Amino acid sequence: MKVKKAVIPAAGYGTRMLPITKAQPKEMVPVVHKPVIQYVVEEAYYSGIREILIITGKHKRAIEDHFDRGDLPKKEEYTEELERILDEVSIFFVRQKEQRGLGDAVKYAEAFVDDEPFALLLGDNITIPPCTEMLVNVFARYGGSVIAVERVPRERIPLHGIIKGSELDKGIYRIEDMIEKPRVEEAPSDLAVLGRYVLTPEIFDYLKNLKPGYGGEIQLTDALRDMAKEKDVYGMLYNGRRYDIGNKLEWLKANVEIALGDVELGREFKEWLANLR
Point out which residues bind ligand UTP (CB under 6 A).
9-16, 55, 96, 99-102, 104-105, 122-124, 246
Closest to ligand UTP by CB, 95 vs 270, is 95
CB of 82 to ligand UTP, least distance (A): 20
Rank residues 37 and 85 by Cβ distance to ligand UTP and give the closer one. Answer: 37
Q: What angle do CA 173, 39, 131 make, to 5 degrees?
A: 15
Angle at 4 between CA 46 and CA 92, to 5 degrees: 90
Asked if residues 235 and 191 have their Cβ atoms less than 8 Å apart, the reply is: yes
Smallest distance from the beta carbon of 8 to ligand UTP, in angstroms? 8
Is the CB of 38 or the CB of 96 nearer to ligand UTP? 96
Task: Tell me how far, at minimum, the Cβ of 104 lies from ligand UTP, in Å.
Answer: 6
Measured from the CB atom, the residue of 176 and 250 that comes closer to ligand UTP is 250
CA distance 9 to 56: 7
CA of residue 259 relative to chain centroid, distance: 21
For residue 28, the minimal CB distance to ligand UTP (Å) is: 12
First CA to last CA distance, the chain: 54
DSSP for 204-251, written as a single string: HHHHHTPPP-GGGS--HHHHHHHHHHHS-EEEEE--SEEEETTSHHHH
The minimum distance between CB 37 and ligand UTP, in angstroms, equals: 9
Measured from the CB atom, is 41 or 259 closer to ligand UTP?
A: 41
CB of 15 to ligand UTP, least distance (A): 3
Q: Which is nearer to ligand UTP, 47 or 219 (CB)?
A: 219
Residue 91's H or E segment, with its range, is: strand 90-95
How many angstroms separate the CA atoms of 232 and 98, rounded? 31
Measure Cα distances from 66 to 63, 70, 83, 102, 231 in Å: 5, 9, 11, 23, 38
**Residue nearest ligand UTP (C-beta atom):** 12
